[in-house]
Structure formats: C-alpha cells, structure tokens
C-alpha cells in the first residue's frame, strides 16, 4: 500500500473566521473594544500564512471577515478575492447576536456587507455569527439576514456547550422557515446518542489529529454528507502576546497552537475542500 491513502469522493467546506487574537469572545471581559486600536495586530501577517497554506494545497475556502478588520486592512480583503476564495461576513466588531436586538443586528450586518462589497467589488452572500451566537432564542436573525440580502448563514453549533450551541438544531443544512435563508450548521459527528464537534475550533487543536480525521471520514462515508470546518488566523500564531485571563479561557485559547499549522496541512491533504458557496450550491440556487 502507498503512503497516501485515497481521499473519499465527498468535497468538504473549508472556512476561516478572520479576526485578531484580542477580538475573541473569551477575552471580552478582559479587553475592551476601545482598546483594540492600541493592541499590536497580527492578523495581516497571519493571513499571509493562511493564504500561502491554501495556495500550497490548492484549496479554495470561505473567509468570514470582521468589518473592523476589513476597514483597517483592506489588502486582506483584496488578497482573499484575488486568490479565488469566497468573501463573507463575520459582522462588524464581534458583538454576539445574543447581545443585540433585531434593529442593532440588522444595522451590524448591513454595514458589514456593504463595507466588504465596496472594498472587494464582489457580492457577499454568507454570514457567520460571532461565537456561533444564533440559537433557539434569536432565530429572527436568520430572517433579518435574508431581508438584508444574505443567502446563507453558518452560525449554529448543534452541540451542548457553556458558551454557545443549539443541540436540538438539525446537523445538516436546512432552509429556515421552509423556503427562507439557508443555515449551514458547523459539523458534528454522532457518537452513540451524543453529538460531538468535528468542525474545528479548540476541539481540533485539543484532540489528536487521527481522531478528528476519523470523525470527518465518518460523516463523509457513513452519512454521505459534507462537513464544514473552521479555524482562525490567530490559531497558527503561537507567538501572539499572551493575555492574563481565567485558566479556562487561557486553556481554550492557547492549547496546542504550535501544532496547529501541521495539523491543518494534514487535514487539507487528507480530504477534498472547497468554498462554502460551491460545496452547498444546490441549497443556494
């Protein structure tokens, strides 16, 4: 047998949430938004490495970009589009949907979509809520996204978690309210009666690579479904300035940063990947 096993024939969706290390919800109580301008930004250099990694592996992906980042680093937006990736929205300044009312949310996503479209000259149809903050308590957000010209959201995590999650949500893409906006939940794998995350984030950094690989294979091969995976540019940056936060937040943010780039490279080689709007085009047309 050769060293490289055959890939299965399912194409999975690769996505990146473009934000800097100080903008994550876990640091929200510790770093004020008004301090963001004073902190050393690392997202530009990290994005160069992300784009290089995708170019090396010949992978196209979807980038959910914060408006705050796009405004300050327009070259990030231009480089994403120039490399053939999909540009999408992560909202303006990482306010969770659970912290907004419908009016404020509508303003946030309208402003960000227009900003990204003006900077890039391309349409933006996808949105991901900061910290997967759409759940059973605010499904009106999916209606608001449709009204503001979005076609899909990837904002629900169908798991139980202390900070987010909607365990009763469908595990695979669905039209909200029948014919409405398409929601593409982050991937989970069914193990006995439980749904476990297999779509990236801290879980991917924490678990051994073989386990993540097995979980994605299982969804692809047993359920004949694509998975959708996500990570952040700061996850491949072990030298980022360390924050003095709670032990739990520290563990979640910093665990295995040094191994991340190698794991990602393996993941990109072991499966077929494409942009979200391409993998799920049958739902979006």
Binding site for Zn ion (CB under 5 A): 17, 19, 130
Tell me the β-bridge partners of 196. 189
Provide the pairing of β-strand 152-153 with 182-183. Answer: parallel
For Zn ion, give the closer residue by CB, 27 or 283: 27
Nearest distance from C-beta of residue 7 to Zn ion, angstroms: 29
Nearest distance from C-beta of residue 23 to Zn ion, angstroms: 7
Nearest distance from C-beta of residue 201 to Zn ion, angstroms: 10
- How far is CA 16 from its chain centroid? 5
For Zn ion, give the closer residue by CB, 89 or 217: 89
SS (H, E, C) 88-133: EECCCCCCCHHHCCHHHHHHHHHHHHHHHHHHHCCCCCEECCHHHC
- How far is CA 149 from its chain centroid? 20
For Zn ion, give the closer residue by CB, 21 or 273: 21
Coil vs helix vs strand at 164: coil
Q: Which residue is nearest to Zn ion (CB)?
A: 17
Handedness of CA 107, 113, 118, 123 (dihedral sign): negative
For Zn ion, give the closer residue by CB, 229 or 271: 229
Nearest distance from C-beta of residue 217 to Zn ion, angstroms: 27
């Amino acid at each position: 047998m050769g060293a490289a096993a055959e890939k299965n024939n399912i194409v999975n969706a690769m996505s990146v949430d473009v934000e800097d290390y100080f903008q994550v919800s876990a640091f929200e109580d510790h770093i004020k938004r008004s301090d963001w301008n004073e902190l050393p930004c690392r997202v530009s250099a990290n994005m160069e490495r992300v784009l290089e990694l995708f170019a090396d592996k010949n992978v196209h992906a979807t980038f959910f970009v914060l408006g705050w980042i796009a405004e300050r680093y327009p070259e990030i937006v231009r480089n994403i589009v120039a490399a053939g990736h999909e540009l999408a929205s992560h909202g303006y300044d990482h306010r969770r949907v659970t912290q907004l009312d419908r009016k404020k949310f509508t303003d946030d996503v309208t402003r960000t979509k227009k900003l990204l479209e003006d900077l890039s000259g391309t349409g933006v149809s996808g949105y991901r809520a900061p910290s997967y903050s759409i759940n059973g308590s605010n499904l009106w957000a999916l209606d608001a996204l449709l009204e503001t010209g979005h076609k899909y959201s990837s904002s629900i995590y169908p798991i139980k978690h202390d900070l987010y999650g909607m365990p009763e949500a469908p595990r695979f893409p669905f039209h909200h309210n029948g014919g409405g906006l398409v929601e593409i939940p982050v991937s989970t794998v069914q193990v006995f009666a439980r749904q476990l995350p297999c779509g990236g984030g801290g879980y991917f950094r924490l678990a051994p690579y073989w386990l993540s690989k097995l979980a994605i294979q299982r969804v692809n091969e047993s359920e004949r479904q694509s998975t959708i995976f996500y990570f952040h540019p700061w996850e491949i940056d072990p030298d980022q300035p360390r924050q003095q936060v709670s032990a739990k937040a520290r563990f979640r943010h910093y665990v295995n940063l040094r191994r991340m780039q190698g794991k990602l490279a393996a993941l990109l080689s072991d499966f077929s990947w494409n942009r979200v709007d391409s993998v799920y085009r049958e739902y979006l047309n």
